Structure 1
Amino acid sequence: MTDVRDNPAMRSSVLVTMADTVPEREIVEVLGIARGSVVRARFFGRDFIAGLRNLVGGEVTEYTKLLADAREQALGRLVRHAEQLGADAVVTFRFSTSTVMEGSAEILAYGTAVRLK
Protein backbone atom coordinates (compact mmCIF):
# COMPACT_ATOMS: atom_id res chain seq x y z
CA MET A 1 0.00 0.00 0.00
CA THR A 2 1.08 3.58 -0.59
CA ASP A 3 2.99 5.18 2.28
CA VAL A 4 0.75 7.75 4.01
CA ARG A 5 3.50 10.35 3.64
CA ASP A 6 3.29 9.93 -0.15
CA ASN A 7 -0.45 10.62 -0.27
CA PRO A 8 -1.48 14.30 -0.32
CA ALA A 9 -4.94 13.27 0.91
CA MET A 10 -3.37 12.25 4.20
CA ARG A 11 -1.41 15.52 4.61
CA SER A 12 -4.07 17.93 3.41
CA SER A 13 -6.44 20.13 5.38
CA VAL A 14 -9.19 19.20 2.89
CA LEU A 15 -11.71 16.92 4.60
CA VAL A 16 -13.02 14.10 2.40
CA THR A 17 -16.26 12.35 3.38
CA MET A 18 -18.82 10.07 1.78
CA ALA A 19 -21.56 11.90 3.71
CA ASP A 20 -23.66 14.70 2.23
CA THR A 21 -22.66 17.08 5.02
CA VAL A 22 -19.87 17.69 7.51
CA PRO A 23 -21.09 17.27 11.10
CA GLU A 24 -21.22 20.51 13.05
CA ARG A 25 -20.11 22.51 9.98
CA GLU A 26 -22.18 24.51 7.52
CA ILE A 27 -21.55 24.37 3.77
CA VAL A 28 -21.50 27.97 2.57
CA GLU A 29 -20.47 27.43 -1.05
CA VAL A 30 -20.47 24.61 -3.55
CA LEU A 31 -17.41 24.94 -5.79
CA GLY A 32 -18.11 22.10 -8.21
CA ILE A 33 -16.95 18.58 -8.83
CA ALA A 34 -13.50 17.62 -7.63
CA ARG A 35 -12.00 14.60 -9.30
CA GLY A 36 -8.86 12.59 -9.61
CA SER A 37 -8.20 9.60 -11.80
CA VAL A 38 -5.52 7.13 -12.69
CA VAL A 39 -5.36 4.49 -15.40
CA ARG A 40 -3.41 1.38 -14.52
CA ALA A 41 -2.42 -1.45 -16.81
CA ARG A 42 -1.68 -5.00 -15.80
CA PHE A 43 1.94 -6.09 -15.90
CA PHE A 44 3.07 -9.36 -17.44
CA GLY A 45 4.95 -10.42 -14.31
CA ARG A 46 1.87 -9.87 -12.16
CA ASP A 47 -0.33 -11.58 -14.76
CA PHE A 48 1.89 -14.63 -14.73
CA ILE A 49 1.84 -14.90 -10.92
CA ALA A 50 -1.90 -14.16 -10.83
CA GLY A 51 -2.49 -16.88 -13.41
CA LEU A 52 -0.66 -19.40 -11.26
CA ARG A 53 -2.60 -18.27 -8.19
CA ASN A 54 -5.83 -18.62 -10.17
CA LEU A 55 -5.08 -22.31 -10.65
CA VAL A 56 -5.11 -22.96 -6.91
CA GLY A 57 -7.70 -20.35 -5.93
CA GLY A 58 -7.62 -17.59 -3.35
CA GLU A 59 -7.02 -13.88 -3.36
CA VAL A 60 -4.93 -12.44 -6.17
CA THR A 61 -2.83 -10.24 -3.91
CA GLU A 62 -0.85 -8.77 -6.83
CA TYR A 63 -4.03 -7.17 -8.21
CA THR A 64 -5.33 -6.24 -4.76
CA LYS A 65 -2.17 -4.19 -4.18
CA LEU A 66 -2.26 -2.71 -7.69
CA LEU A 67 -5.83 -1.46 -7.22
CA ALA A 68 -5.24 -0.25 -3.66
CA ASP A 69 -2.30 1.84 -4.86
CA ALA A 70 -4.38 3.19 -7.76
CA ARG A 71 -7.20 4.20 -5.38
CA GLU A 72 -4.74 6.05 -3.12
CA GLN A 73 -3.26 7.86 -6.12
CA ALA A 74 -6.72 8.84 -7.44
CA LEU A 75 -7.71 10.09 -3.96
CA GLY A 76 -4.54 12.17 -3.76
CA ARG A 77 -5.32 13.72 -7.15
CA LEU A 78 -8.89 14.47 -6.04
CA VAL A 79 -7.56 16.30 -2.96
CA ARG A 80 -5.12 18.34 -5.07
CA HIS A 81 -7.97 19.29 -7.42
CA ALA A 82 -10.15 20.29 -4.45
CA GLU A 83 -7.32 22.47 -3.13
CA GLN A 84 -7.02 24.15 -6.53
CA LEU A 85 -10.74 24.91 -6.36
CA GLY A 86 -10.25 26.47 -2.92
CA ALA A 87 -12.26 23.80 -1.09
CA ASP A 88 -12.24 23.06 2.62
CA ALA A 89 -13.96 19.71 2.08
CA VAL A 90 -15.20 17.21 -0.46
CA VAL A 91 -18.61 15.71 0.33
CA THR A 92 -20.41 12.79 -1.36
CA PHE A 93 -17.01 11.26 -2.17
CA ARG A 94 -17.06 8.09 -4.30
CA PHE A 95 -14.77 5.78 -6.25
CA SER A 96 -15.63 4.39 -9.67
CA THR A 97 -13.78 1.82 -11.74
CA SER A 98 -14.09 1.19 -15.44
CA THR A 99 -12.23 -0.78 -18.06
CA VAL A 100 -10.43 1.43 -20.56
CA MET A 101 -9.16 -1.40 -22.74
CA GLU A 102 -8.25 -5.04 -22.25
CA GLY A 103 -5.81 -5.20 -19.37
CA SER A 104 -6.22 -1.65 -18.06
CA ALA A 105 -8.67 0.11 -15.79
CA GLU A 106 -9.42 3.66 -14.71
CA ILE A 107 -9.96 4.41 -11.05
CA LEU A 108 -11.90 7.66 -10.63
CA ALA A 109 -12.29 9.45 -7.30
CA TYR A 110 -14.92 12.18 -7.30
CA GLY A 111 -17.08 14.30 -5.06
CA THR A 112 -18.47 17.78 -4.49
CA ALA A 113 -15.90 20.40 -3.48
CA VAL A 114 -17.32 22.79 -0.88
CA ARG A 115 -16.30 25.69 1.33
CA LEU A 116 -17.24 25.43 4.99
CA LYS A 117 -18.20 28.08 7.51
Structure 2
Amino acid sequence: MIITTSDLVAGRDIVEALGVVRGNVVRARFVGTDFLAGLRMLAGGEVNEYTKLMAEAREQAVDRMIRDAQLVNADAIVAMRLTTSMIMQGAAEILAYGTAVRLA
Protein backbone atom coordinates (compact mmCIF):
# COMPACT_ATOMS: atom_id res chain seq x y z
CA MET A 1 0.00 0.00 0.00
CA ILE A 2 1.42 3.36 -1.04
CA ILE A 3 0.85 6.07 1.56
CA THR A 4 1.76 9.70 0.96
CA THR A 5 1.04 13.04 2.56
CA SER A 6 0.92 14.68 -0.86
CA ASP A 7 -2.11 14.81 -3.14
CA LEU A 8 -0.30 12.83 -5.85
CA VAL A 9 1.60 9.58 -6.21
CA ALA A 10 4.84 10.36 -8.03
CA GLY A 11 4.97 8.74 -11.45
CA ARG A 12 1.46 7.31 -11.23
CA ASP A 13 -1.97 8.49 -12.37
CA ILE A 14 -4.94 8.45 -10.00
CA VAL A 15 -7.91 7.04 -11.90
CA GLU A 16 -10.47 6.95 -9.09
CA ALA A 17 -10.93 8.47 -5.64
CA LEU A 18 -12.60 5.90 -3.41
CA GLY A 19 -13.30 8.15 -0.43
CA VAL A 20 -11.96 8.91 3.00
CA VAL A 21 -10.33 6.11 4.97
CA ARG A 22 -9.48 6.34 8.62
CA GLY A 23 -8.05 4.52 11.58
CA ASN A 24 -8.11 5.61 15.17
CA VAL A 25 -6.96 4.45 18.57
CA VAL A 26 -7.55 5.83 22.06
CA ARG A 27 -4.72 5.28 24.50
CA ALA A 28 -4.79 5.87 28.24
CA ARG A 29 -1.80 6.39 30.48
CA PHE A 30 -0.85 3.73 33.01
CA VAL A 31 -0.24 4.61 36.67
CA GLY A 32 3.21 2.98 36.65
CA THR A 33 4.18 4.89 33.54
CA ASP A 34 2.86 8.11 35.07
CA PHE A 35 5.10 7.61 38.10
CA LEU A 36 8.23 7.10 35.97
CA ALA A 37 7.27 10.00 33.70
CA GLY A 38 6.72 12.24 36.71
CA LEU A 39 10.22 11.50 37.96
CA ARG A 40 11.66 12.18 34.51
CA MET A 41 9.79 15.51 34.27
CA LEU A 42 11.40 16.62 37.53
CA ALA A 43 14.82 16.15 35.93
CA GLY A 44 13.75 17.70 32.62
CA GLY A 45 14.16 16.38 29.11
CA GLU A 46 12.20 13.96 26.95
CA VAL A 47 9.60 11.75 28.61
CA ASN A 48 10.53 8.49 26.87
CA GLU A 49 7.60 6.54 28.30
CA TYR A 50 5.06 8.86 26.65
CA THR A 51 7.08 9.14 23.45
CA LYS A 52 6.97 5.35 23.08
CA LEU A 53 3.24 5.22 23.93
CA MET A 54 2.38 7.84 21.31
CA ALA A 55 4.59 6.25 18.64
CA GLU A 56 2.87 2.89 19.15
CA ALA A 57 -0.56 4.55 19.01
CA ARG A 58 0.31 6.34 15.75
CA GLU A 59 1.47 3.07 14.16
CA GLN A 60 -1.72 1.32 15.24
CA ALA A 61 -3.90 4.12 13.84
CA VAL A 62 -2.04 4.00 10.50
CA ASP A 63 -2.40 0.19 10.38
CA ARG A 64 -6.15 0.54 10.93
CA MET A 65 -6.36 3.17 8.18
CA ILE A 66 -4.57 0.79 5.80
CA ARG A 67 -7.05 -1.99 6.63
CA ASP A 68 -9.90 0.45 5.90
CA ALA A 69 -8.31 1.22 2.50
CA GLN A 70 -7.89 -2.48 1.74
CA LEU A 71 -11.62 -2.99 2.27
CA VAL A 72 -12.31 -0.73 -0.74
CA ASN A 73 -9.47 -2.28 -2.80
CA ALA A 74 -7.40 0.90 -2.82
CA ASP A 75 -3.93 0.98 -4.36
CA ALA A 76 -2.81 4.00 -2.34
CA ILE A 77 -3.76 6.56 0.28
CA VAL A 78 -3.06 10.20 -0.57
CA ALA A 79 -3.24 13.33 1.59
CA MET A 80 -2.62 11.23 4.72
CA ARG A 81 -2.77 13.15 7.99
CA LEU A 82 -2.47 12.38 11.70
CA THR A 83 -4.30 14.24 14.45
CA THR A 84 -4.22 13.93 18.22
CA SER A 85 -7.07 14.87 20.55
CA MET A 86 -7.39 14.76 24.31
CA ILE A 87 -10.46 12.63 25.06
CA MET A 88 -10.33 12.98 28.85
CA GLN A 89 -7.70 13.43 31.52
CA GLY A 90 -5.01 10.88 30.74
CA ALA A 91 -6.47 9.56 27.46
CA ALA A 92 -5.71 10.68 23.91
CA GLU A 93 -7.11 9.73 20.52
CA ILE A 94 -4.83 9.38 17.52
CA LEU A 95 -6.62 9.58 14.16
CA ALA A 96 -4.98 8.71 10.84
CA TYR A 97 -6.94 9.63 7.73
CA GLY A 98 -6.54 10.17 4.02
CA THR A 99 -8.14 9.57 0.63
CA ALA A 100 -8.13 6.05 -0.77
CA VAL A 101 -7.40 5.98 -4.50
CA ARG A 102 -7.06 3.55 -7.37
CA LEU A 103 -4.01 3.99 -9.59
CA ALA A 104 -3.56 3.38 -13.31
Structure 1 length as normaliser, TM-score? 0.88
**Alignment match of 2:19 (pick from 15, 28, 32):** 32
Deviations 1:29-73 (A, max 9, x none): 000001000000000000000001111101000000000000000
Structure ranking higher in strand proportion: 2
Figure out how many residues of one structure are paired with residues of the other and give that number: 104
Task: Provide the residue aligned with 2:76 in structure 1.
Answer: 89
- TM-superposed CA distance for 1:86, in Å, is 1.1
Q: Which runs of 4+ in 1 moved over 4 A?
A: none
Cα distance per residue 1:7-50 (max 9 Å; x no partner): xxxxxxx1100011001111000000010000000000000000
Structure 1 gap ranges (5+): 1-13
Matches within 5 A, 1:37-56: 37-56=24-43
Quick one: distance in 2 between partners of 1:23 and 1:62? Answer: 37
Structure 1 position 107, deviation (Å)? 0.3
The answer to whether the aligner puts 1:57 opposite 2:51 as a matched pair is no
Residue type of the alignment partner of 2:27: R
Residue segments in structure 2 that go unaligned for 5+ positions in a row: none
Query: Percent identity, aligned pairs only?
Result: 62
Match of 1:113 in 2: 100
